[in-house]
Amino acid sequence: MNDNIKQIKDPVLSIRNLSVSYDKGKYAVKDVSVDIKRNSVTAIMGPSGCGKSTLLRAINRMHELYENIETTGTLILNGKDIKNMPTIQLRRMAGMVFQRPNPFPTMSIYDNVIAGYKLNGISLKRSEKDEIVERSLRDVTLWDEVKDTLYKKGTFLSGGQQQRLCIARALAFDPEVILLDEPTSALDPIATAKIEDLLVTLKENYTIILVTHNMSQAARISDYSLFMYLGELVEYGKTNDMFTKPRDRRTEEYLTGKFG
Amino acid sequence: MNSDKITKIILLFSSFIILFVAGGMVFSLVKGAIPAFKSFGAGFVFSNTWNPTQGSENYGALPFIAGTVITSVTALLISLPLSFSASLFLGEYYRGTRMAKVLGTMVDLLAGIPSIVYGLWGFYVLRPFLVGLGLPNQGFGVFTASIILAIMIIPYATSLSNEIIMMVPNELKEAAYSLGATKSEVIFNVIVPSARSGIIAGYILSFGRALGETMAVTMLIGNANVIPDGFFSTGNTMASVIANQFGEADGLKLSSLIAIGLLLFLITGVINAAGKFIIKKLN
Amino acid sequence: MKYQHKQIAKSKLKSRALKDKAIRVLVVLLSVVTISPIVLIIFKLIEKGYKQISLDFILKTPPNSYEAMTALANGELIPGGIANGITGTLLMMVVAAVMAIPVGVVTGIYLYENPGKFMANLTRNISDILQGVPSIVLGLIAYIWVVKGITNGYSALAGSVSLAIMMLPMIVRSTEETLKMIPVTIKEAALALGVPYYKVILKVLIPTGFSGLLTGILLGISRVLGETAPLMLTALGSTIINLNITKPTSAVPLLIWEFYNDPNMVGLIWSSSLLLMAIVLSLNLISKQIAARTK
């Protein structure tokens, strides 16, 4: 596998020998080592069940919520081993967006954006809150659509709007990395296009890691791509290179639609 | 007529039996209560005298309505932290584990204990214990009855709120965790707000159960026909007064007891309908 | 873009983690408190009641108060048993079941076959309300209907009627829920073969859902088996074994109540309660076993 590690200068995240097993001995992610470049979009691709979501969820230690999931290996985020970070701090630095839009149904749009602060018991001045809400909603190009309905429940928005609200919720915390787990799989093509455009603009300020099983999506917006198969990292490189001249036979077969 | 039609008529007929039973209940209770309401008017509900002396008979339901409401509310308040914790244990903290299975079975078993056995345990174990703590009236009264009632409604409150808590989508909880919230913060900021109305409905239904409990309360409340003037004073509930005054009742007294039964029927009916309505709206 | 996340103070992180742990400990502690009564009650019943349990206890009727007093004075076990209560409970349960099961099951089938219809919704709501009626009120009803109206005196039949009304809504509900879980295609396959409707019910629906129906019925029976209050107003009690449904009859919970009120007989309450609990809890467990096996 070692030939796959691209040594990147000053990576925002470097993963070394990461393995995740559900039941003892059954590995969902096997010995993955990779560096993630700052201010880029990195796509994790692969057929379903290849471990791409599992890899993503290891980054913010989401697996700790469940018993029987064992994680080994090291993840260094911004020069710090995530194992030694309190999960509270880690999850502030690595915001997450889920497959299906999941705004909190009991909170207004406004409260959803600052939910992170509310949940973490951080008290902000009204003006600070207003500023964060407006900035985050502008960042996801939702501000003009919802500025008059900020105090309504977020669940009344369309699916695409809800997902952008969820991205705003992650942005409000100014994370280093944004982890997105197939964020457009429940959306229509127009909403998907909006989110893709958004991700490209967001990389100016953030690092984006995107799990997708949609190859054309990866081709459209990602700078780097990771191809995973059966828990292993098969290939990693510039998206352009991987799509034009894949080095591994499995990558080639996947990209040409032989399986997946 | 073909057999399919006959089958349909039989099915419909059996549902008529249920409606007939329910209608007949209301009719019989109202009919039985008429003499009491004729003698005392609407004041029956608000009068606090209970005088069975021949010739100067005078009955009012207020002490029992008050006793019922006080014991049931107290029971609800006592059971709340317990059943809520148990439902979090089952539905969140140890969901799906062996421990949760054991705890769940034990909570279920609580529902299987007959009321009279609760009464015995309250009388012979709990009451002396409370007397030891300095409770007056040999330990009889509202407080002791409420503790037993609380234990009796715990299984209902627990299983109803557990069901609702389990229904909160995992993705909402994960969203909160991904923002750095701790488990307790997720519980109080995400799970409880999402499950709120269901949990409230569960407690309303449990409250309805407490209102009508008879034997255990009869054995512990002290059976005094007065409005309880505190948590530790004796009293009577609507159900317990029917149970312990019925044996020697006829005429106006019997009618008054039936009238109390009618009031109890109406109160529990309204409470249950409210709880079921909320649950139906959720689904 | 300013980074704000460095603002979380270390002390704050610690206090939050501590609070989280404290709440978990509190939840576990309160959960243990919640289930402690069941342990304490069962322990108490066994501790105080096991000595009295014997074949005689099941086969004989209770002694009179004087005999019990003499036995107590001599430091012996109270002689006799609760045979009149066991037979009375059995009699009333059988009669109640005969009344409640057919009506309950057929009504459940009606609700399943006519979802959304006005009559079905009405019946379902009324049945739900019936389920919440306190048992003492059902005792009053059976008193008015049967004791005053049919048997001209306290009777086993009156007790059965009150218990039957109590079981009815539970059976209706469990029948409907069970049938809803049967795939519609099974029913349609039978109907497509031209089988008459009643045969589809008898030969397809009921056999397919049989264990579910049985679970509901057993749970219903275990719920009313320990009922005391309605029987005080209806069956009254009897010192002898009585199998005539128009005559007053004892029942195990009624006997417990009588023993509790008689200082000489009070020694029998624990063993009687132990027996009653054993029956109720095993019915409970059996029905849950059946339910678990078919799931």
Identify the helix (H) or strand (E) that includes residue B255.
helix B251-282
Confidence at B53, pLDDT banded by 50, 70, 90: confident
Which residues in chain C have their CB less than 8 angstroms from residue B89's CB? 27-28, 31
Residues in chain B, total: 283
Cα B82 to Cα B67: distance, rounded to the nearest angstrom: 23
DSSP lists the bridge partners of residue A77 as A13, A80
Å between B183 CA and nearest CA of chain A? 9
8 Å CB contact between B37 and C144: no
- The yes-or-no verdict on residue C81 having pLDDT over 80 is yes
Q: Which residue of C has its CA nearest to B218?
A: C229
Q: What per-residue confidence (pLDDT) applies to B221?
A: 96
Verify whether the Cβ–Cβ distance B180 to A92 is below 8 Å: yes
Cα A73 to Cα A50: distance, rounded to the nearest angstrom: 18
Q: Rounded to whole angstroms, what are the CA distances from B36 to B45, B243, B245, C93, C286?
A: 10, 18, 15, 34, 46
Chosen from A56, A93, A96, A106 to mutate, greatest number of chain B CBs within 10 A: A106
Report the CATH number that the domain containing residue C183 is assigned in CATH: 1.10.3720.10
Verify whether the Cβ–Cβ distance A173 to B179 is below 8 Å: yes
Chain segment B61-76, per-residue pLDDT in tens: 999 999 999 999 999 9
Residue C17 lies in a domain: no
- The yes-or-no verdict on residue B11 having pLDDT over 80 is yes
Å between A120 CA and nearest CA of chain C? 9
Which residues in chain A have their CB less than 8 angstroms from residue C12's CB? 121
Which residues in chain C have their CB less than 8 angstroms from residue A89's CB? 5, 8, 13
**Contacts within 8 Å (CB) and 24+ apart, C179-186:** C179/C108, C179/C109, C179/C112, C179/C205, C179/C209, C179/C212, C180/C112, C181/C209, C181/C212, C182/C208, C182/C209
Q: Which residue has the tokens 């207020």?
A: B62
8 Å CB contact between B90 and B73: no
Cα B57 to Cα A85: distance, rounded to the nearest angstrom: 77
Phi, psi of A5 (to 5 degrees): -70, 115
- The yes-or-no verdict on residue B274 having pLDDT over 80 is yes
Q: Which residue of A has its CA nearest to C3?
A: A174
Å between A77 CA and nearest CA of chain C? 14
Which residues in chain C have their CB less than 8 angstroms from residue B86's CB? 30-31, 34-35
The interface pTM score, or ipTM, of the predicted complex is 0.95
Q: What per-residue confidence (pLDDT) applies to B1?
A: 62
Chain segment B136-149, per-residue pLDDT in tens: 999 999 999 999 99
Residues in chain C, total: 295
Q: Is A49 left (phi over 0), alpha (psi -120 to 50) or beta?
A: left
**CATH assignment, B64-282:** 1.10.3720.10
- The yes-or-no verdict on residue C1 having pLDDT over 60 is no
Q: Where are the alpha helices (DSSP H) in B41-141?
A: 43-46, 62-88, 98-112, 115-121, 127-132
| Percent of chain C at pLDDT exceeding 70 | 96
Residue C115 lies in a domain: yes
- The yes-or-no verdict on residue C113 having pLDDT over 50 is yes
Chosen from C2, C3, C5 to mutate, greatest number of chain A CBs within 10 A: C5
Closest CB from B17, B28, B86 relative to C141: B28
Return the CA Rg of chain C: 26
Residue C293 lies in a domain: no
**Number of domains into which chain C is organized:** 1
**Number of domains into which chain A is organized:** 1
**Closest alpha carbon to B214 in B264, B252, B161:** B264
Judged by DSSP in three states, C242 sits in coil
Residue C125 lies in a domain: yes
Verify whether the Cβ–Cβ distance C141 to B29 is below 8 Å: yes
Q: Which two tokens stand for residue B38?
A: 């004729």
Cα C225 to Cα B14: distance, rounded to the nearest angstrom: 24
Cα B200 to Cα B189: distance, rounded to the nearest angstrom: 16
E strand segments, chain A: 13-21, 27-36, 41-45, 70-77, 80-81, 94-97, 177-181, 207-211, 224-229, 232-238
Q: Which residue of C has its CA nearest to B239?
A: C136
Cα B77 to Cα A191: distance, rounded to the nearest angstrom: 49
Q: What per-residue confidence (pLDDT) applies to C105?
A: 96
Q: Which residue of B has its CA nearest to C17?
A: B182
Å between C85 CA and nearest CA of chain A? 51
C9 interface with A at CB cutoff 8 Å: no
Cα C253 to Cα B153: distance, rounded to the nearest angstrom: 20
Q: pTM of this prediction?
A: 0.91
Q: Which residue has the tokens 């709440």?
A: C23
Cα A259 to Cα B202: distance, rounded to the nearest angstrom: 50
**Contacts within 8 Å (CB) and 24+ apart, C201-206:** C201/B7, C201/C109, C205/C109, C205/C179, C206/C105
Cα A259 to Cα B97: distance, rounded to the nearest angstrom: 38
Which range has the worst mean pLDDT, C95-104, C163-172, C277-286?
A: C277-286
Chains that touch A (3 or more CB pairs under 8 A): B, C
Identify the helix (H) or strand (E) that includes residue C188.
helix C184-192
Residue A256 lies in a domain: no
Q: What per-residue confidence (pLDDT) applies to A4?
A: 47
Closest CB from C23, C35, C109 relative to B107: C35
Q: Which two tokens stand for residue C66?
A: 């004087």
Residue C235 lies in a domain: yes
Residue A76 lies in a domain: yes
Residue C195 lies in a domain: yes
How many B-C residue pairs are in contact by the CB < 8 A criterion? 237
Q: What per-residue confidence (pLDDT) applies to A2?
A: 42
**Closest alpha carbon to A140 in A223, A199, A217:** A199
Chain segment C210-230, per-residue pLDDT in tens: 999 999 999 999 999 999 999
Cα B88 to Cα B195: distance, rounded to the nearest angstrom: 12
- Mean pLDDT value of segment B50-54: 88
Q: What per-residue confidence (pLDDT) applies to C7?
A: 55
Phi, psi of A235 (to 5 degrees): -150, 145
Phi, psi of C63 (to 5 degrees): -75, 165
- What lies within 8 Å, CB to CB, of B275 at 6+ separation is B201, B202, B204, B205, B208
Burial class (CB in 10 A: 0-12, 13-18, 19+), B13: middle
DSSP per residue, C193-230: TT--HHHIIIIIIHHHTHHHHHHHHHHHHHHHHT--HH
- Mean pLDDT value of segment B138-163: 96
pLDDT-flagged residues of chain A (< 70): 1-7, 259-260
Q: Which residue of B has its CA nearest to A88?
A: B180
**Closest alpha carbon to C246 in C122, C146, C167, C104:** C146
Residue C152 lies in a domain: yes
> In whole numbers, what is the pLDDT of chain C averaged over residues?
92
Verify whether the Cβ–Cβ distance A89 to C8 is below 8 Å: yes
Residue A254 lies in a domain: no
Cα C78 to Cα C67: distance, rounded to the nearest angstrom: 8
Q: Rounded to whole angstroms, what are the CA distances from B200 to B75, B104, B151?
A: 15, 20, 18
Cα C214 to Cα C291: distance, rounded to the nearest angstrom: 9
Å between C118 CA and nearest CA of chain B? 12
Closest CB from C4, C12, C13 relative to A174: C4
Print the domain residue range for C249. Answer: 86-263
Closest CB from C114, C132, C233 relative to B246: C233
Q: Rounded to whole angstroms, what are the CA distances from B113 to A199, B148, B166, C91, C198?
A: 60, 12, 26, 21, 39
In this structure, what DSSP letter does residue A132 have? Answer: H
Confidence at B56, pLDDT banded by 50, 70, 90: confident
Print the domain residue range for A214. Answer: 2-245
Report the CATH number that the domain containing residue A104 is assigned in CATH: 3.40.50.300
Verify whether the Cβ–Cβ distance A98 to B181 is below 8 Å: no
- Mean pLDDT value of segment C232-255: 96
Å between C59 CA and nearest CA of chain B? 22
Calculate ∠ Cα C125-C128-C133, nearest 5°. Answer: 125
Residue C70 lies in a domain: no
Chosen from A102, A178, A180 to mutate, greatest number of chain B CBs within 10 A: A102
Cα B273 to Cα B278: distance, rounded to the nearest angstrom: 9
Q: Which residue of B has its CA nearest to A111?
A: B189
Which residues in chain C have their CB less than 8 angstroms from residue A175's CB? 5
